[in-house]
């Protein structure tokens, strides 16, 4: 079976498609991922074949339809931010599939919609079919320091807003846990004191690090939030988003002040329940079987 995946120029959205792409290829299907020329290296890093649609936003949809007419895929899977995928499917009478992630809301434009967000974290009334979320963040190397067993609980800190380092460092000072942050010292604002239990590292690949953590702190990273849920980790989001608000409503996370990081143990039961819910959902290979039928 020929399957064309349509991805926008967003690493996080591409990464949501990759587990399905791998499941399709492992099952013996011919898979290609389309994207803009400037995004091709990101697609190639997944190990999949890339289709160059050029860099002109106005002609991107036409280029995808043109390729679909040439290649004749039976199924076209698209991200919610790549509506051209559905247009390409209609042009060649292929099955149009939409795969949703943590930032998406369902629509009725595709023939079939799957959602990687577990049912308990979705908008009420969502009818999309469930598929297990498999966290993927791109190629990663397990660093040497991660091969050693942690001496105390480990918390992953991932911040894009450097002004939040001060409040977080103040909140974790004296905490019986190691706070890991993949950033250089130059990003720490002047005048901010770094506690002894904070460790700056060159890289902290979530795929390798999350299984060793007790909690996660971020400032609204939806992909990291859903990955933390998949691993059963309590989390604190310092900024509110739709997915972080639902995780908090489920009792598996907080949205708010840095000081709440000290209370992560109270979230463990709900976080484990979400992890078990995700683990019980059909894996991407089950979605492949449905698409083949």
What pLDDT digit, counting tens, does each position of 97-134 carry?
999 999 998 888 899 999 999 999 997 767 899 999 99
Q: Please indicate, yes or no, if residue 95 is contained in any of the structural domains.
A: yes
Q: Please indicate, yes or no, if residue 227 is contained in any of the structural domains.
A: yes
Tokens encoding 240: 């509110």
Dihedral over Cα of 45, 47, 52, 58: its sign: negative
pLDDT-derived band of residue 147, with 50, 70 and 90 as boundaries?
confident
The torsion angles phi and psi of 60, rounded to 5 degrees, stand at: -60, -45
What pLDDT digit, counting tens, does each position of 204-213 carry?
899 999 999 9
Domain shared by 149 and 270, yes or no? yes
Looking at 9-13, 146-150, 193-197, 261-265, which range is the least confident one? 146-150
Domain shared by 274 and 150, yes or no? yes
Closest CA to 24 of 289, 228, 288, 293: 288
- Going by the DSSP 8-state scheme, the letter that residue 82 receives in this structure is -
How confident is the model at residue 202, as a pLDDT? 87
How confident is the model at residue 151, as a pLDDT? 84
Domain shared by 157 and 111, yes or no? no
Average confidence score pLDDT of the chain = 94
Tokens encoding 123: 């908008």
Domain shared by 99 and 151, yes or no? no
Q: Please indicate, yes or no, if residue 287 is contained in any of the structural domains.
A: no
The torsion angles phi and psi of 223, rounded to 5 degrees, stand at: -65, -40
CB atoms within 10 A of CB 184: 10
How confident is the model at residue 58, as a pLDDT? 86
Domain shared by 71 and 184, yes or no? no
Looking at the structure of the chain, the number of domains it has is 2
DSSP 3-state helix, strand, coil percentages of the chain (rounded to 5)?
40, 20, 40
Q: Please indicate, yes or no, if residue 96 is contained in any of the structural domains.
A: yes
Q: Which residues partner with 5 through β-bridges?
A: 33, 77
pLDDT-derived band of residue 275, with 50, 70 and 90 as boundaries?
very high
Domain shared by 231 and 159, yes or no? yes
What pLDDT digit, counting tens, does each position of 14-69 carry?
999 999 999 999 999 999 999 999 999 999 999 999 999 999 888 999 999 999 99
Which residue among 115, 132, 153 closes a domain?
115
Torsion (CA) 39, 45, 51, 52 in degrees, nearest 10: 30
Assess contact for 100 and 128: CB atoms under 8 A.
yes
147: left (phi over 0), alpha (psi -120 to 50) or beta: alpha
Spatial strand order in the sheet of 95-100: 49-52, 30-35, 2-6, 75-79, 95-100, 112-115, 129-130
Closest CA to 155 of 112, 198, 214: 214
Q: What percent of the chain has pLDDT over 70?
A: 99
CATH number of 16's domain:
3.40.50.2000
In whole angstroms, how far apart are CA 108 and each of 92, 111, 261? 19, 8, 39
Show the domain range for 156: 144-278
Calpha distance 26→288 (Å, rounded)? 10
Calpha distance 51→63 (Å, rounded)? 10
Domain shared by 105 and 149, yes or no? no
Calpha distance 75→4 (Å, rounded)? 6
What pLDDT digit, counting tens, does each position of 68-107 carry?
999 999 999 999 999 999 999 999 999 999 999 999 988 8
Give the count of alpha carbons within 13 A of 262, CB side only. Answer: 13
Q: Please indicate, yes or no, if residue 133 is contained in any of the structural domains.
A: no
Mean pLDDT (whole number) for 193-217: 93
How confident is the model at residue 134, as a pLDDT? 97
């Amino acid at each position: 079976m020929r399957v064309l995946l349509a991805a926008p120029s967003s690493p996080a959205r591409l990464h949501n498609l990759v587990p399905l792409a791998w499941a399709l290829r492992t099952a013996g299907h011919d898979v290609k991922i389309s994207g803009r020329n400037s995004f091709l290296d990101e697609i190639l890093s997944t190990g999949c074949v890339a289709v160059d649609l050029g860099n002109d936003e106005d002609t991107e949809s036409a280029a995808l339809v043109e390729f679909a007419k040439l290649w004749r895929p039976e199924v076209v899977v698209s991200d919610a931010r790549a509506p051209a995928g559905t247009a390409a499917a209609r042009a060649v009478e292929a099955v149009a599939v939409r795969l949703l992630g943590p930032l998406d809301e369902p629509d009725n434009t595709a023939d079939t919609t799957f959602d990687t967000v577990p049912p308990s974290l979705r908008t009420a009334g969502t009818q999309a079919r469930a598929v297990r979320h498999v966290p993927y963040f791109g190629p990663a190397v397990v660093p040497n320091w991660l091969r050693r067993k942690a001496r105390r609980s480990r918390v992953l800190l991932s911040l894009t807003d450097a002004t939040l380092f001060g409040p977080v460092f103040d909140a974790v000072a004296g905490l019986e846990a190691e706070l890991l942050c993949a950033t250089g010292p130059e990003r720490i604002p002047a005048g901010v004191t770094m506690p002894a239990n904070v460790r700056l590292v060159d890289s902290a690949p979530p795929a390798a690090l999350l299984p060793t953590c007790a909690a996660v702190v971020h400032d609204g990273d939806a992909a990291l939030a859903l990955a933390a849920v998949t691993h059963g980790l309590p989390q604190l989001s310092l900024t509110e988003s739709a997915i972080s608000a639902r995780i908090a409503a489920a009792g598996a996370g907080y949205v708010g002040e840095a000081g709440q990081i000290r209370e992560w143990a109270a979230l463990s039961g709900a976080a484990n329940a979400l992890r078990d819910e995700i683990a019980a959902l059909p894996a991407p290979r089950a979605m492949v079987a449905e698409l083949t039928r």
